[in-house]
Amino acid sequence: MGSGKRALDLISRRGFRKGWTLFIISFFAFFVVLPTIFILSYAVTDWSDIQANVLSDPATMDLILSSIVVSFEIAALVTVIDFLVGLPVAWMLARKNFRGKQFLDTLIDMPLAVPTAALGFSAAIFWAATPDPPAFSLAVISGPMLLIILLHVVFSYPYMVRSLTAILGEIDETYEIAGRTLGASRLTAVRTITLPLFRAGLVTGAILCFARSLSETGGTIIALATLYGRPMVEGDFQTGSTLIGLWRSASASDPTLLPALAFVSILLILLALALLAVLKLTIMKVRLPLRKVWPTSEKMLSRRPYPFFKDLSAIVFLVVIVLVPSFFIFTFVLTGASAGSLDWAPFVDSLVLSFLVAAVVTAVDLALGIPLALYIAKNRSGKLSQLLDVLVNVPLIVPTAALGFSLALFWSFLDIEASLPVLLIILAHIAFTYPLVVRNVVGAVEGVDPAYEETARTLGAKPIQSFRRVLYPLIKGSILAGAIMAFTRSLGETGATLAVVANANTAPVYIVDLVNAQEYSLAAMACIVLIVISYLAMLLLRRFTREEVV
Amino acid sequence: MPTVTLRGITKRFSDVTAADGLDLVVNDREYLCLLGPTGAGKTTALRVIAGLTTPDSGQVLFDDRDVTTLEPEERSAVLLSQTYSLFPTMTVAENILFGPNIRDMPDEEKERTLVSLLDLVRLTKRASSYPRELSGGMQQRNALARAIATNPDVLLLDEPLRALDARLRIDLRKELKSLAKALGLTVVHVTHDQDEALVMADRIAVIRAGRIVQVGTPQEVFNSPTSPFVANFVGQSNFFVGTVVASTPEGSEVEDDQGRRVKARPTDVPVGGKAAVAVKVGHTQLVKTGATVLRGTVERMLFEGRVVHVDVGVEDLGRFSAKIPASHRDRYHVGDEVGIAWSRNKAIVFPYPEGGLEDELRVD
Amino acid sequence: MPVVELQGIGKRFGKVVASAGIDLRIEDGEYVTILGPSGCGKTTLIRMIAGILEPSEGRVLIGGRDMAGVPIEERDVGYVFQNIALFPHLSAIENVSYGPIVKDMSEEEKASIPRRYLELVNLLDRMNMFPDALSGGEKQKVALARALASGAKLLLLDEPLSALDARVRMDLRYELRRIAKDLGLTVLHVTHDQEEAMTVSDRIVLMRNGRIVEVNTPEELYKAPKELFTANFIGETNLLDGVVVRNGSDHTVVELRDGTHVEAQPSRFGPGDAVVLSVRPERVHALETGLKAVIRALTFMGTYVRVTAEADSEDVLEFDVPVARGRDYNMGDNVYLGWSMSSALVYPRPPEGIAEAVKLE
């Protein structure tokens, strides 16, 4: 008892707390941020190489630029679509109470439980007009761009809806009602009052959505491979990320590709960061003038049956465009080939590896991400905290393939790629899951009245005691949500894994190999197993802490 | 219980000065009310005592000990916030035992403390309820019990009754005060409500713009304000503006530019100096017949239950208010001419404020 | 035709009954306060009038028209919220202009009306400021101007002053009534503060636990409350437990717990009835003889001293003395208290006990 108290006193001392904060921030800087953007230094160190091999080669430049343009086009379209169809659903979740609301809530999160590799495959076999399409599929799409857009819409959908729901939940409904008492129809009130107040959250949702699409690699590669019926080659339709993925695997045998690979990564990262900055700075400045009203038409649109149709079409979209393609893979089982030919041993090995990595990654994210989140949330006015808040978003913006590549370069001095590839994979996965935990926890802590902990302190609680007894119970739900996001994200990640270690063998990579080898029924089998197991893991995690979550 | 001293406290938040050379002494076992308008810096003062806000300069002393840099958990100053901040995931009993649990109090002692406190605040039957299930008054009592459970050196109450209905406030004032006295607590009670301060305080410290402008017993602050602001804030006052024309040890006389001359207490303001004379609304009398120096027209009569508030417009002077017993209501009507009078020793003469009277009296 | 009429209004949230059996008529130009403790259903009531909530039963009529199915924006009712709800992204003048704009008034009206109402509340010079730069009282005035600018003749105020400092409240409440009367508006003002209600209202609607207790002018409610709850809630009063001994034509004699006899107004009770006697502090005087009580507390109230005394019957009585006479009284002294017959009212003793019957939460 005595030593426990002494330990408590020690860690509560101001000096210790400062040291701990320093450690947390250093971890973040050195293990998350720096490796992610390390590739940018390549522009400085190997500029001559880039000039020689890339800038002076029109064909390569052409390829690079067109793929980047395509990436941005897709991301923009996806963001707009997700906003238009996600907003009504977010509205229903945030503002209305109806039977089945819980059910809808769970449905939204489902795409998160499906690993990107599996989702890419599932969506592709549903939509793609391949020579021999499976039963029940629509098989209408033959253009790669449209297919990718439909795929990305599914990936980004939960991010958009969750962000919008969170923000809508924070805007007091009283403002809208006030507008209506002044004579505004429902639609007018929403348009002129709620949406402007909503801007900050809208930007967050849009950025997350955009970034997710921009950085998406694994599922895209698999989808295109399924469409073409063969592995991707350079001449195919390319997004920036698929190009990076392609060149990364090729660069193992052909080092001359490195400058080009570096250049496209750098370009993609810089443009994404620039866009992030522009969006954040301008959207808050734009004044939405109130001059224009169309009272009669807006009033009409506010009455039935228009709102009903709006909600109905949003739900239909959710089901047809998001859910069915995500889970289409299950029908493949009913109609497809046998599972007997699946080579279980290596698949199980890959599953174990994936889960191991995901578990370690989530644990590290929580242990070191929560303290950083606490620092940011509690020091809002400090410059350092604001800087950290911005930097936390960087790994989310950087395309996972570029991230993996950058990370591999950063850690190359350790020379562990051969000896301990798992460690590299873990480090890579930490980089893009850490921000998910931090963002969730920051949001949660900011929603808690600081008076609770302050009162606890005056009652004699040291900071660590106040956290454990007062703050933690109130943010448990968000910590769990962050943990689930990190776990499922790591489980499903393909692009970064491929990019960081040449022949990693996580489960998603295994599936990619199967698809490239056109072993579709086996790939489907593997996908289903992966989906079921990750969904169970998610449920288990939820159930485990359900009693404690208020 | 130590004496709590704040010496020369200053604190600035970006463009707002919350404390501007604040000096305050709270005596052992005293119930001190810190009274002032919103934004005066009352909450900042409390937070500085508690250690939740570090002052830019100045000292906080418990007896002779300088605690200015001490962490909140190392002082024994418990803060009760305006919204009570009852821990939502803990029951009433668990909330009360928070402090004792932190201090590793022996189980037997914890049990005794809990039972006696629950009894003291009349929450014995609700010990297993959660804060959200309690009414406003019950929450307040729960928060109080929690604060007392640690036997603090000083109890800091931040507008503890503000969130309650007007009627409930009046009932709980008595309960709160008698509890504090029974337990011999040192209390600093922040409020914007002068009625509350008058009824509850052993001493009142009036705060404005980050400074203490007057400290005294309720009687002292009410009857002998040291500035027009205090004269009007602690019990509304009527003001007569003019020049001092006579000043003797027995009293003074002030005359305005219309030649009206009124009597007041003795004053230090020199003859010829511009002055503002303050008379409490409660000490202002209406005169139906007979000649008075000030005459005006009844503009408004507002029923307040036991009294009627009468506003009289005096030409070139402004509004004078008075209270008359409800039973006298029929004697006056809107539009009547009435006289205004007061006893000489109820009128206080202040030097006319530099920035003008309106600015001096502003609370918003 | 009354401006607002409520017929048999009731509201349930699941199993919880927020209000029931509400019948009310508000006439044109009246300033009516809806008064009661927290949770009594007063806010629910005006929300039903505004259309923010739909009643579970009964009808709301505004201007004689049944409001069933009529959405908020078509009821033409001004509403000022408890937490002000000024649109944070618009300046003061833009806030006030909101009504005229969404009602598509003429260009000339859109320009002049907002300025007129901001001027009315003396905030024209702050018109370009944003809500976060305004003080609490200023925000409330802008909210009022905004509600008025939309052209509504019926104004609903939901605890408009509760969030403000005591002194600011006092100044603003007179303003509200003055503006309402000058503009000929009908006002329904919700509050928990009985002092506020008494000073501004033409009539007060006292509510408790979802029902109307009593409706009357402030003076009548104060002088002759019909219910025990009213006697205790509006103004202060002393409540004494007793049994009727004798009922004469011009007085009632009541025996207190310790056997002392006191007098009250004539009533309809007979000998043996259990009653509660209510007499206000300002009507109680210390005399040569009367009800014996021991002084337990003396409280300085500014212009008077409140004396708290306990009688042998264990009833607690409070009365006031001028500050100058305060020195004559000390803790532990005996005093003999009396009052005129007409000052004391008699009520049936509630079966659940006095404390339960008058409690506020």
What would the 3-class secondary structure string for chain B be? CCCEEEEEEEEEECCEEEEEEEEEEECCCCEEEEECCCCCCHHHHHHHHHCCCCCCEEEEEECCEECCCCCHHHCCEEEECCCCCCCCCCCHHHHHCHHHHHCCCCHHHHHHHHHHHHHHCCCHHHCCCCHHHCCHHHHHHHHHHHHHCCCCCEEEEECCCCCCCHHHHHHHHHHHHHHHHHHCCCEEEEECCHHHHHHHCCEEEEEECCEEEEEECHHHHHHCCCCHHHHHHCCCEEEEEEEEEEEECCEEEEECCCCCEEEECCCCCCCCCEEEEEEEHHHCEEECCCCCCEEEEEEEEEECCCEEEEEEEECCCEEEEEEEEHHHHHHCCCCCEEEEECCHHHEEEEECCCCCHHHHHCCC
As a whole number of angstroms, the distance between CA B141 and CA B143 comes to 5
Residue A241 has pLDDT above 70, yes or no: yes
List C residues 134-153 in contact with A (Cβ-Cβ < 8 A).
Answer: 146-147, 150
Distance, CA of B188 to CA of B33 (rounded, Å): 6
Query: What pLDDT, in 10s, does the model give residues A417-459?
Result: 667 788 888 988 999 899 989 988 988 898 899 999 999 999 9
A151, A528, A522: which is closest to A321 by C-alpha? A151
Can you give the pLDDT at residue A550? Answer: 32
| Spatial contact of B91 and B168, defined as CB atoms under 8 Å apart | no
Out of A459, A465, A550, closest to residue B150 by CB:
A459
Among the partner residues A179, A290, A299, nearest to C94 by beta-carbon distance: A290
Report the residue from B85, B89, B103 with minimal CB separation from A455: B85
Q: Which residue in B27, B31, B56 sits closest to B41, CA to CA?
A: B56
Contacting chains of A (3 CB pairs or more, <8 Å) are B, C
Residues of A with Cβ-Cβ distance to B99 under 8 angstroms: 459-460
Q: Which residues of B touch C361 (CB under 8 A)?
A: 135-138, 165, 168
A446 contacts A377 by C-beta, under 8 angstroms: yes
**CB nearest C81 (choices: A174, A295, A302):** A174
* Mean pLDDT in residue range A509-529: 80
Residue A18 neighbours by CB under 8 Å, 6+ apart: none
User: Which pLDDT does position A418 carry in this prediction?
Assistant: 66
Taking CB atoms and an 8 Å limit, are A174 and C88 in contact across chains?
A: no
What is the average per-residue pLDDT within A203-209? 80
* Distance separating alpha carbons of residues B166 and C194, to the nearest angstrom: 8
What's the number of CA atoms in the CB half-sphere (13 Å) around residue A261? 25
For residue A297, the chain C residues in CB contact (below 8 A) are: none
Nearest by CB: B99 against A14, A459, A470? A459
ipTM: 0.88
Question: For C218, how many CA atoms within 13 A lie in the half-sphere containing its CB?
Answer: 24
Question: Cβ contact (<8 Å) for B222 and C300?
Answer: yes
Cα C359 to Cα A362: distance, rounded to the nearest angstrom: 54
Q: Chain C contacts of B134, Cβ < 8 Å?
A: none
Q: Which residue has the tokens 């000490």?
A: B283
Q: Which residues of C touch B195 (CB under 8 A)?
A: 166, 301
Q: Of A175, A185, A290, which is closest to C85 when you measure between CB atoms?
A: A175
C361: three-class secondary structure by DSSP: coil
Residue A272 — pLDDT band, cuts 50, 70, 90?
A: confident
- Evaluate whether A69 touches A81 at the Cβ level (below 8 Å): no
The pLDDT, as a whole number, for residue A81 is: 92
DSSP A93-118: HHH---TTHHHHHHHHHHHHHS-HHH
- Residues C37, B198: C-beta atoms closer than 8 Å: no
Burial class (CB in 10 A: 0-12, 13-18, 19+), C40: buried
Which residues, in sequence order, are bridge partners of residue B241?
B276
Chain C residues within an 8 Å CB radius of B218: 300, 302
Average pLDDT over chain C, rounded to whole? 91
Least confident piece of the model among A180-189, A245-254, C82-91: A245-254
| Residues constituting chain A | 550
Q: Which residues pair with A14 in a beta bridge?
A: none
Say whether A459 and B51 touch across the interface (CB within 8 A).
no
Looking up tokens 């508006």 gives C185
Instruction: Identify the three-state secondary structure at position A493.
Output: coil
How many residue pairs from chains A and C have C-beta atoms closer than 8 A?
Answer: 75
Give the residue, C226 or B170, on which the prediction is more confident. Answer: C226
Share of chain B above pLDDT 90, in %: 68
Q: How far, in Å, CA of A139 to CA of A117, rounded?
A: 19
Strand partners, B31: B187
Q: Which residue of B has its CA nearest to C161?
A: B166
Contacts with C128 from chain A: Cβ below 8 Å: none
> Please, which pLDDT band fits residue A167 given cuts at 50, 70 and 90?
confident
Q: How far apart are CA A169 and CA A488, in angstroms?
A: 25
Using alpha carbons only, what angle is made at residue C352 by residues C347 and C353, rounded to the nearest 5 degrees? 60
Question: Out of C166, C196, C236, whose CB is closest to B193?
Answer: C166
Cα A344 to Cα A348: distance, rounded to the nearest angstrom: 6
With CB atoms and an 8 Å threshold, state whether B98 touches A465.
no
A293/C79 CB distance under 8 A: no
Kindly give, in sequence order, each residue whose CB lies less than 8 Å from that of residue B222, ignoring residues fewer than 6 positions away.
B198, B234, B235, B280, C300, C302
Q: Is A452 on the interface with B (CB under 8 A)?
A: yes
* Residue closest to B254 by CA, chosen among B234, B269, B236, B232: B269
DSSP-derived 3-state class of residue A314: helix
Nearest Cα of chain C lies from the Cα of B37 at a distance, in angstroms, of 7
Q: Does C163 touch chain A if contact means CB atoms closer than 8 Å?
A: no
Contacts of A184 in chain C (CB under 8 A): 73, 98, 102
What is the chain A residue with the closest CA to B102? A461
Q: From CA B43, how far away is CA B268, in angstroms rounded?
A: 35
pLDDT of residue A549: 38
B-C Cβ pairs (cutoff 8 Å, strict): 100
Mean pLDDT of B309-320: 90
| Structure-token pair, residue C2 | 């009354």
CB C323 within 8 A of CB C300: yes
B295 has a pLDDT exceeding 70: yes
Q: Does C138 touch chain B (CB under 8 A)?
A: yes
Q: Tell me, what's the pLDDT at A548?
A: 41
Q: C193 in contact with B at a CB cutoff of 8 Å?
A: yes
Strand B307-314 vs strand B347-351: parallel, antiparallel, or unpaired? unpaired
pLDDT band at B95 (very low <50, low <70, confident <90, very high): very high
d(CA A67, CA A73): 10
Is the pLDDT at C355 greater than 90? The verdict is no
**pLDDT tops 80 at residue A291:** no
For residues A258 and A251, what is the distance between their CA atoms, to the nearest angstrom?
6
Phi, then psi, of A473 in degrees rounded to 5: -60, -30
| CB contact A456 to B (< 8 Å) | yes
Q: Which two tokens stand for residue A383?
A: 């410059």
How confident is the model over B102-145, as pLDDT tens digits? 988 899 999 999 999 999 999 999 999 999 999 888 999 999 99
> Are B87 and A550 within 8 A, CB to CB?
no
Which among C37, C198, C280 has CB closest to B304? C198
> Do residues A223 and A123 touch, judged by C-beta distance below 8 A?
yes
Name the 3-class secondary structure at C54: coil
The rounded distance, in Å, linking the Cα atoms of A511 and A513 is 5
Q: Classify residue A336 by burial, with Cβ atoms within 10 Å: 0-12, 13-18, 19+.
A: middle
More confident residue, C222 or A38: C222
Is residue C310 within 8 A of residue C316, CB to CB? The reply is yes
Give the whole-angstrom CA distance, residue A370 versus residue A384: 17
| Subunit contact A295:C104, Cβ cutoff 8 A | yes
Residue B174: which of B142, B137, B203, B223 has the closest Cα?
Answer: B137
Q: Is A59 on the interface with B (CB under 8 A)?
A: no
Query: What average pLDDT does chain A have?
Result: 82
The pLDDT value recorded for residue A547 is: 44
The predicted pLDDT at position A53 comes to 73
Residues of B in contact with C138 (CB under 8 A): 364
CA distances from C156 to B284, C8, C88, C114 (A): 36, 20, 21, 19
A459/B89 CB distance under 8 A: no
Quick: pLDDT tens for A305-341: 788 888 888 888 888 888 888 888 787 766 655 555 6
How far apart, in whole angstroms, are the C-alpha atoms of residue A55 and residue A68?
Answer: 15
Interface contact C303-B363, CB threshold 8 A? no
- Spatial separation of the C-alpha atoms in residues C264 and B309, rounded to whole Å: 28
Identify each DSSP E strand in chain C by its residue range. 4-13, 16-26, 31-35, 57-62, 65-66, 77-80, 154-158, 186-191, 203-208, 211-216, 238-247, 252-256, 261-264, 274-279, 285-287, 291-300, 304-311, 316-322, 334-338, 344-348
